[in-house]
Structures are given as structure tokens and as C-alpha cells.
A and B are shown apart, each in its own frame.
Chain A
Amino acid sequence: MIEGAIWRRWVFFYIPLALFLIFLLFPFYWMLITTFRPDGELYRPWRAANYTPFWTWNPTLDHIKYLFRETMFATWLWNTMFIATASTIISLICGVLAGYALARLNFPFAGSLGTGIFITYLVPQTLLFIPLSEIIRNYKLGDTPWSLILTYPTFLIPFCTWLMMGYFKAVPKELEECARIDGASRWQAMLYIIIPVAIPGILSAGIFAFTLSWNEFIYALVFLSSPEQKTVPVGVVSELIRGDVFFWGPLMAGALLGSIPVAIAYSFFVEHYVSGLTGSVKG
């Protein structure tokens, strides 16, 4: 906390914080207000006498209704949920096991393997989708949810592995040694001791993986084509921007509704993932 006179606190703490918050939250506010603003106000020229960009006196649910009635938004939501959940589960299982192995089992080249896995995470998706689309086509998975469930782990597993590796390294080695002396096999020690202790880390890896796949755009754009298979980010953009016409109301409504599940997931686990990121294990 800033010491000294009240004006110092305002100048060095409250005002910068407020500016930062405004900068950060304004896009969300804009999304919210546009969702509920009637079309008449949305397309009103800025020179008009009754131009009120930051507020509306006639809130409406028309855009949301449009979204559900005229587009397949509900299907997109379901698709996104299914794909994100499935790919998160796959990535978490692989990431936890790989992270444990890299952190705990002393095998040759463990260090360079860990670095290698991290490097695969750095390969941009904008490059990777080219060979992947070839693979998806060969396995005839194009335009199915599996095209994404199986390709999202290509960036989620390195991410989860790396995060879990760091977390497992922070868990005292003695816990596991003690369990082994107590009569647990390595597998049991991992299952009963190490994984329960690492739950905060697993939760934060899960939340991040879920968010990454929820928001993913490029693979979904490339691998899915029919409207009933699309995910929210792709569906909203491809169905609500027609040519050079932007349907701003439904677009923003879609963005708003699309971000709610992620926000819920975050707020639900917020305590866990903070402690997961700071890696605190108390004995």
C-alpha cells in the first residue's frame, strides 16, 4: 500500500488502477451494451442529436432471440462444449502422466524431452494446420467434432505437460518416498498421494486447456464446414458477417453468451487455480 498523504494514494494507486480497469473492461462493456441495444440505435450516425454510444434507454432481447431462432447458435454452443470438454480430458490425462514422468522418473534424456515438448507448443497453429488438415482428410475426420478433439491436444498436451511438470516438481519428493516405504507401489503412490496433492495444478491446467480449446479459431475454421458442426467462435463469425455486412447485435450477443461458460469455469475454480499457478504445497 502507498504510504503518505491521501493525494499520493490517489495519484499513484487509485487513478492508475481505475484507468487500467477501464481499459481492460471497456470491450466487455461494449459487448454487453451492443447486445441489448436495438438496431435503430446501433446504426444511428454519430452526428445525430440523440446519439448515445455508451448507454441505451430501450434495451432489447431481439439480438439474442435472433441468435437462437435464425442461426444454429444452440448447436454451436453444444459443439463447442463437447469438443472443449473432450479435448481437455484427453489432454489432462496425457499431461498429468507425462508431467509426472518428466518431473519424477529419472530416465535418460528426461530434460531434453521436456524441452522438446515445450518447443512443440511454440510451433504456431497457423503453420501446423496445413499438415494437420492433410491428416484429417486422410482419416476422413473432416467436418466432424473428432477433427478438433484430436487436433486440439497437439497444443494442449504440451501446455498441460509443462504446467504439471512444474507443479509436480514443487511437490516434496519425500511424500512419495514415504508412501513407497509405507507400502505403496509407484503407481499407488501417484494415485493416492501425488495426484490428490496436485489437484490445484490439475484444475488450473484443466481450466486453461478448456479456455484455449473453447476460444480456438483456426483449426475450427479449417476443419469444419457445415453450419451444424461449427463451434461458437467460427459460427458467429462466419454466419453473422455476410459479405461486408456485420450483424453487430447478434455478433455481440454471440460473443457475450459464448464467454459466459468460460467466465463461470474461472470464477468457480479461481482459488484453486491461483494456488495452482503459484505452486504452493504445504506439508
Chain B
Amino acid sequence: MATVSIRGVHKRYDDFHAVKGVSLEIKDKEFVVLVGPSGCGKTTTLRMVAGLETITEGTILIGDTVVNELPPMDRDIAMVFQNYALYPHMSVYDNMAFGLKMRKFDKAEIKRRVSEAADILGIKDHLHRKPRQLSGGQRQRVALGRAIVRNPQVFLFDEPLSNLDAKLRVQMRVELKKLHQRLGTTAVYVTHDQVEAMTLGDRVVVMKDGLIQQVGEPLELYNHPANKYVGGFIGSPAMNFADVTIAQNGSGLVASNSAMNIGVPEHLAAPLGPHVGRPATFGIRPEDLRLADGSEPAHHTFEAVVEVAEQLGSEILLDVSCGPSSMVASVDPTVRVKPGEKIRLAFNPHRAHFFDGKTEMAVRG
């Protein structure tokens, strides 16, 4: 088990700068998830840790060892690939034993380790089958087994659940989490699915265009996104945004556009002071909106027109338009509204977010 330090790492291909200076300290036994859209450099970063891509610039350490020049076999890591990458001509047993055989473990020890891993993963009955005789979930387990038998310092996961169907994905997600709790091996996990990132990660790293946008615990990212991108990326349904202009109004500040005119919550008034007269983005999560009932101050409400009401049972998602911006509000399942109806939505002022109109960085209280 070990720490992983990624320090100022760049990756340039001939005409493409894939990773533009990523720095990240991963603690021992930590489960870190790299998340971002495709092409954001998350997989490239992982592959540089694995030794499958050369590092153009910067340093990567596993434990105390600089691994920049080490071949993958000498880094003491294990990697699970999206397409499982099981050796099709070998039985499940041989697939799991391959790494140990290459490292010249003796036969009895190989057997002990493989059957222990097979026990943990519940694939003991399939050890003599070939990969093509297994279902997707079983193949994924074999791929995991192949990683854990070696007892490596670091696990690397490259979108391991993406090829599974939705139900199995949820199930394997839980198993992965359990496995990590049981083994405690440092893990770096790459995914484009923010739900996976939130549920699995001790810490989540949001990446975009080869740069880290924010690093933090899942709830920290959710509650305090560092910028508009992270705000919109984390959470489902996504955060609503409305372009507004900040203006002085008596002792307080207001944020307004053609369709709304809302009071800036008190705790944000001071940091938003310098933004007066400038454009900003107001952000609010769907669950922080509700139908106004008159109990809230009028400046924490705005008017909207219902476009679609999606009944989910536990809640209703209202797709509304509010002037130029469309928003989603998650409201009580008892609410009855019709498309085209004009409603008043109230937002929770403590959970409102404002982002700089130009830099898109969050304005924090």
C-alpha cells in the first residue's frame, strides 16, 4: 500500500496537449476518483500512473519512488480495464494466475491466492471456464480478481463498470466499495459518471480540458463547487443556471435579468460587492427550489412557466422556463401543475450559488 503523488504532470501528443499540469497527492488507502467528460485527460493521467503512457513533463511517485522511467511491470500496480481485457485463450484460473506466474510465485502460493480471491469475488465455480463463457458481471469479477491476487500497492481502474448494464453497474459499484473497505489498497478510479464518482470516492477530482477543476470530498464538491463547471457536472439533475446582473438596491444587492429579480442572500452580499454592475451566473440545484407558498420573502422567489412535469413517484421534476433560462425544480409529489401554468418558485437562500460572469469561478461567502 502506498501514496501516489502526481506533480505538475503534462502529456503532449504531436498536436494535442492532453494533460496540462496536473498535481494531485493521493494518500495511503485512499479511493480517489477522476471524473470528467471524455477527452478531459483523466484516462491519460491514469495511464501515465500505470506506465502505459510516457510522461511529457512532471513527476509521478508511487510511495517514495519516482516511477517516470519505470516500466509498468516494476511499478507494483494492478489495473482493471473497461473491456476487462481478459486473456481469451486462458481459463479464469490462468487469467488470475498469470501475473503471479510472471513474478515466479510458487505453485502452492498461486493456488492459495487465486482461490482466496475467487472466494471473495464469488467466482469459485467458474475457475475452469473460459472468459467467453462468462456473463459481463462475472468477467468484471475475474478482472478484479486478477488485480487483487497480486496484492499490489495501487489499484488503477479505467471505467471498469461502463460496459455493464445499469442494474449490474449499481450492484458492482457497491461491491467495489466493499472490496476497497476490506483490502484498503490505495485506488485511483477513472469514470465519466458523476454518480459513480460521488458514491465511490473518498475524494473526487473533477477534470476538464486536461486541467483539474476541483478536488474534494463528494459532498464538498456538491455543496461548494469551485466553479460553474463543477456545479453543473456534479449532481443529477444538474444545477440550474441563470445569467444575471448584480446591482445595488438600498442596503442589499439584487441579481436580475429580464425574467427574475432576486435578492442576493446576506452571506454572499459582501463577496459579491465588487461584482456590482457586472454579469454573474446564479446557480441553484433543483432540490433547493420549491413552490412558493407565501411564507418566504418575495425577493427569494421568481416566476416561471411550467413546460413539462416529470412524475418520478418520490418527487416531481418540473421543467420550467424562466425568461431566457430553462430550469428544473424538484418539488413535492403532491403538487398539481399543468404545462403552460405560471408558477412562483422559491429558492433556499443558504444554498444559492453565484459564479463570476467571466472567470466562472464561484463567489463564496
Chain A residues packing against B (C-beta within 8 Å) = 172, 174-175, 177-185, 188, 192-193, 196-197, 199, 281-283
Contacts and interface: CB of A to CB of B under 8 A. Distances in A.
Given A180-B52, A183-B103, A184-B73, A174 B81 contact: yes
Interface stretch (B84-92, B251-259, B271-279, B329-337): B84-92
Given A180-B72, A282-B88, A174 B83 contact: yes
Interface residues of B, number: 28
20 contacts: A172-B83, A172-B85, A174-B85, A175-B87, A175-B88, A177-B50, A177-B52, A178-B79, A178-B81, A178-B87, A181-B72, A181-B77, A181-B78, A182-B102, A183-B99, A184-B73, A185-B73, A188-B102, A283-B84, A283-B132
Given A174-B81, A174-B83, A282-B132, 9 more contacts: A178-B81, A183-B99, A184-B102, A188-B102, A197-B88, A199-B89, A283-B84, A283-B85, A283-B86
Nearest to A199: B89
Contacts of B75: 181
Nearest to A281: B88
A108 to B, nearest CB: 12
A177 B81 contact: yes
B231 interface: no
A184 B97 CA distance: 12
Nearest to B79: A181
B52 A197 contact: no
A192 B79 CA distance: 19
B36 interface: no
Contacts of B84: 283
A184 B82 CA distance: 20
Contact of A175 (B51, B85, B103, B150): B85
Looking at chain A's contact residues, is the secondary structure mostly helix, strand, loop, or mixed?
Answer: helix
B55 to A, nearest CB: 16
Interface of B: 50-52, 71-73, 75, 77-79, 81-89, 98-99, 102-103, 131-132, 139, 146, 150
B102 A183 contact: yes
Nearest to B52: A177
Q: Which one of A177, A182, A193 has the greatest number of beta carbons of chain B within 10 Å?
A: A182
Contacts of A181: 50-52, 72-73, 75, 77-79, 99
A157 B166 CA distance: 47
Contacts of B132: 282-283
A258 B75 CA distance: 57
B176 to A, nearest CB: 18
Nearest to B132: A282
B71 to A, nearest CB: 7
A197 B79 contact: no
Given A174-B81, A174-B83, A182 B146 contact: yes
A197 B85 contact: no
Contacts of A193: 87
Contacts of A179: 87, 98, 102
A283 B52 CA distance: 20
Contacts of A283: 83-86, 88, 131-132, 139
Interchain residue pairs A-B with the least CB separation, the first 10: A183-B102, A182-B99, A174-B85, A178-B85, A174-B81, A181-B72, A183-B73, A196-B89, A180-B72, A183-B103
B4 to A, nearest CB: 15
Contacts of A180: 51-52, 71-73
B137 to A, nearest CB: 14
A182 B52 contact: no
Nearest to A176: B85
Given A183-B103, A283-B131, A197 B81 contact: no
B182 to A, nearest CB: 22
B71 A182 contact: no
A269 to B, nearest CB: 17
Contacts of B87: 175, 178-179, 193, 197
A67 B192 CA distance: 72
A174 B82 CA distance: 9
Contacts of B51: 180-181
B101 to A, nearest CB: 8
A41 B72 CA distance: 74
Contact of A177 (B85, B89, B139, B150): B85
Contacts of A182: 73, 78, 98-99, 102, 146, 150
A186 to B, nearest CB: 9
Contacts of B99: 181-183
Contacts of B150: 182-183
A56 to B, nearest CB: 50
Contacts of B139: 283
A197 B88 CA distance: 7
